[in-house]
Chains A and B, each alone.
Chain A
Amino acid sequence: MNLWLILAVNSVTLGGLLFLLSAGFSLIFGLMRIPNLTHGSMFMLGAYLGVTCIALGLGFWTSALLAGLGVALFGAVIERFVLRRLVGAELAQVLVTLGLSFMVADVCLMQWGGDPIAVDTPPLLRGAAKIFGLAFPMYRLGIIVIACVIAIALWLLLERTRLGAMIRAAVDDPQMARVVGIRVSHLFTIVFALGAGLAGFAGVIGGPILSVYPGLDQDMLPLALVVVILGGTGRLLGSLVGSFVVGFLYNFGQAMFPELAYVVLFLPMLIVLVVRPQGLFGRVPL
């Protein structure tokens, strides 16, 4: 019984991390119509930057924020100077993101070496919390809280601000958005940087659980892809539900069928693709 509960907590934690990763992925896909294949690399790059900041003596949370900002800046540079050159050629953009992901992975390997790096849990959240007589690791609960806060912040940003209204307009109909005077190409840069920054931030706060290692990018990217295929693109709710579904499937799959964890992950995606290709909450098919 206790084991299942712990697994459930872990699943929700992973779901929270995946939400941070895939919310940006989904927004970028919704707005720019490209699957950003550097997204896993952003997660890993953020994690490594965070490790370096922590090694420099900065606090965990400061490091996480700095790494997120750094990756956001990197994302903005990529969007502004590489992807912008290829506007209209979506396929070329995807291939460029793929090429960049290999370059980032190799630079990380060069800079930080091939050994996994463990990240210490921040002192404030060490230990366990007792709830109903059961011990839960504080840090995992902390991640769930952070994910909820960011989900609400993103929702407010998208639904309650002028910027959010412009993004929603551009997701729904980019041409009309341009006609009414929204500078859609600026939104591209902002959303790409925001998505990259969230992924980088998620990389750092995922560090104490996942640790940081070469290949982290290749582990996270398919999870983000499955989340978005399940949940549908360009919708926050889709990413949220998709993330938790994938979090549960991944953890329970690994615990119950360790050899087939990937197949367990893949079956629901298969069913969704066959029955509802636009995803559970999406409006447009892929």
Chain B
Amino acid sequence: MKPAALVIALLLLVAVPFWVGNSFYVNIAAQILIYAVLALGLNVLVGYAGLVTLGHAALFGVAAYAGATLINAGHGPVVVAIGALGATLIATAIFAVLALRGTGLGFVMITVALGQIAWGIAYRWISLTNGDNGISINTRPAPFGLSLASANAFYWATLVVFLITVGAMAIFVASPFGAALCGMRDQPRRMTALGYNVWLTRFLAFLFSGFWSGVAGLLYLYYNQFISPQTVALSASAEALLMVIAGGTATLLGPIVGAGLVIIMKDVASAYIERWNFVLGAIFVLIVVFMPEGLVPGVARVWRRRR
């Protein structure tokens, strides 16, 4: 049953450009995959480590800004990827060292402050980030000579990265490291007593999470070919968190479903009303008050009960 479902899901995903047709929708599908990578990365912290962060858009943004700067300096895609992800890892390490000084809500508060500082740098440090005007790039990479200029080609490239991410997450969840992280979420003192280094494990989880956020940031840069401070604003972090929470934390499928839900709603909502931020806030409040466990676990529970 399960492998068959996986194969069908995979075929459906690969065939998206054929059954949705219009390149507008293919682009939305690519966006969903990009944000799903971000949400999966964020889920490592929020779901498995139990560390809720509201500064993740900053890490996404560091990769995108570093990538854009390197591209405009004339570097090739390999240098860009290494540079952008390296910069993200450094930023993540700084975030982690500072944020892990706090626990629980102190952690949340520090990540909000750090995220806002990243936003301030993107907005004010004009010689580095070009301020409010943002940075444009005019190329997409062409791995193995395949052009990614068209919507379909870019979608498939994104799909490959997305599948690698899902694979990495599946391995991570099943690994002893993932199990230790979950143990520290539930019983940090017992894990310390058992001889685990709680701080180091959380630090590594933060780096792992930041790495995938950086991957998503780089994809976003190539997709959008433009980056501005809006991308690192608090509302962007909140959107990413909403994806994870709405879909269901500490599940593999949850963040993916959440990313799809938020992106589709955002596009639908912005087609009909200008008030996306209001809708975002309202969904946030409703989900937290009425469905705190998220959609995927909620639906799974209802499903089990009916059978």
A143 at the B interface (CB under 8 A): no
Q: Is B104's CB within 8 Å of the partner chain A?
A: yes
Query: What is the minimal beta-carbon distance from A152 to any residue of chain B, in angstroms?
Result: 28
A61 within 8 A of B: no
Q: Does B280 have its Cβ within 8 Å of any Cβ on chain A?
A: yes
**A259, B292: Cβ atoms closer than 8 Å:** no
The answer to whether A105 and B277 touch across the interface, beta carbons within 8 angstroms, is yes
Residue of B nearest to A228 (CB): B109
With known contacts A85-B289, A285-B102, A286-B110, A258–B124 Cβ distance under 8 A: yes
Given A101-B281, A102-B277; A96-B289 close (CB under 8 Å)? yes
Contact (Cβ within 8 A) B284 A102: yes
**A259 pairs with B127, CB closer than 8 A:** yes
Given the complex, which residues of A lie within 8 Å of B245, measured CB to CB?
95
Interface residues of B in 168-185 (CB under 8 A from A): none
Q: Residues of A contacting B54 with CB < 8 Å? A: 98
Contact in complex: A103, B104 (CB < 8 Å): no
> Which residues A62-102 have CB closer than 8 A to chain B?
82, 85-86, 89-92, 94-96, 98-102
Interface size (B, Cβ < 8 Å)?
Answer: 44
B282 at the interface (CB under 8 A from A): yes
A275 to B289, CA, bound (A): 37
Quick check: is B76 within 8 A (CB to CB) of the other chain? no
**Docked CA distance A90–B107 (Å):** 13
Which of B114-122, B151-159, B250-258 forms part of the interface with chain A?
A: B114-122
Inter-chain contact A99/B116, CB cutoff 8 Å: no
Q: A263's closest neighbor in chain B, by CB?
A: B121
Q: Is the CB of B281 within 8 A of A259?
A: no
Give the contacts of A140-155 with B (CB-CB under 8 A): none
Among the 9-residue stretches A124-132, A235-243, A266-274, the one with 4 or more Cβ atoms under 8 Å from chain B is A266-274
**B125 within 8 Å of A (CB atoms):** yes
B301 within 8 A of partner (CB): no
Interface-side segment among B59-67, B80-88, B213-221, B232-240: B232-240
The chain A residue with its CB closest to the CB of B120 is: A262
Is B307 positioned at the interface, with any CB of A under 8 Å from its CB?
Answer: no
Q: B99 → chain A, closest Cβ, in Å?
A: 9
| A226 contacts B113, C-beta separation under 8 Å | yes
Known: A106-B277, A259-B124, A273-B110. A90 touches B288 (CB 8 A): no
DSSP class of A's interface residues: helix, strand, loop or mixed?
Answer: helix
| A202 interface residue per 8 A CB criterion | no
Q: When chains A and B are docked, how far (Å) is the Cα of A248 from the Cα of B45?
A: 35
Q: Chain A residues with Cβ under 8 A from B233's Cβ?
A: 218
In the complex, the answer to whether B284 meets A98 with C-beta atoms within 8 Å is yes
Q: How far is the CA of A263 from the CA of B119 in the complex (A)?
A: 11
Q: Which residues of B contact A270 (CB under 8 A)?
A: 98
Q: Of all chain A residues, which has the CB nearest B52?
A: A91
CB distance from A123 to the nearest CB of B (A): 35
Q: Are B113 and A229 in contact (CB under 8 A)?
A: yes
Give the CA-CA distance A110 to B278 in the complex, in Å.
Answer: 10
A102 contact from B97, B127, B280, Cβ within 8 A: B280
Please tell me if the beta carbons of A260 and B125 are within 8 angstroms of each other in the complex.
yes
Name which residue of chain B comes closest to A258, CB basis. Answer: B124
Q: Which residue of A lies closest to B54 (CB)?
A: A98
CA distance A36 to B245 in the complex (A): 19
B281 touches A99 (CB 8 A): yes
Q: Contacts A102-B284, A218-B116, A259-B127 known; A94 to B108 CB distance under 8 Å?
A: yes
Contacts of A263 in B (CB 8 A): 117, 120-121
Residues of the B chain whose Cβ atoms lie less than 8 Å from the Cβ of A98: 54, 238, 281, 284
A94 touching B117 by the CB < 8 A rule? Answer: no
- CB-CB under 8 A from A34, the residues of chain B are 105
Contact partner, A37, options B107, B112, B121, B277, Cβ 8 Å: B112
A229 and B235 in contact, given A98-B284, A259-B126, A286-B102 (Cβ under 8 angstroms):
no
Of the residues B126, B241, B282, contact of A103 by C-beta under 8 Å: B282
A263 to B117, CA, bound (A): 7
B89 CB to closest chain A CB (Å) equals: 19
Q: Which residues of chain B from 262 to 300 have a CB within 8 Å of any chain A CB?
A: 275, 277-278, 280-285, 288-289, 292
Q: B101 on the interface (CB 8 Å rule)?
A: yes
Interfacial chain A residues near B97, Cβ < 8 Å: 274
Q: Is B106 on the interface with A (CB-CB < 8 A)?
A: yes
- Say yes or no: B101 contacts A286, CB within 8 Å: yes
Closest to A262 in B: B120
Cα-based distance from A106 to B103 in the complex (angstroms): 31
- Asked whether, in the complex, the Cβ of A273 is within 8 Å of the Cβ of B52, the reply is no
Interface residues of A in 28-84 (CB under 8 A from B): 33-35, 37, 82
10 A-B pairs within 8 Å (CB atoms) are namely A86-B289, A94-B52, A95-B241, A98-B281, A99-B280, A222-B116, A259-B128, A270-B98, A277-B101, A286-B106
A218-B234, A259-B125 given; name 6 further pairs at CB < 8 Å.
A96-B288, A107-B278, A228-B109, A259-B124, A262-B121, A266-B114
- Which 10 A-B residue pairs are closest in the complex by CB-CB distance? A286-B106, A262-B120, A99-B284, A102-B281, A222-B116, A103-B281, A106-B278, A286-B102, A99-B285, A99-B281
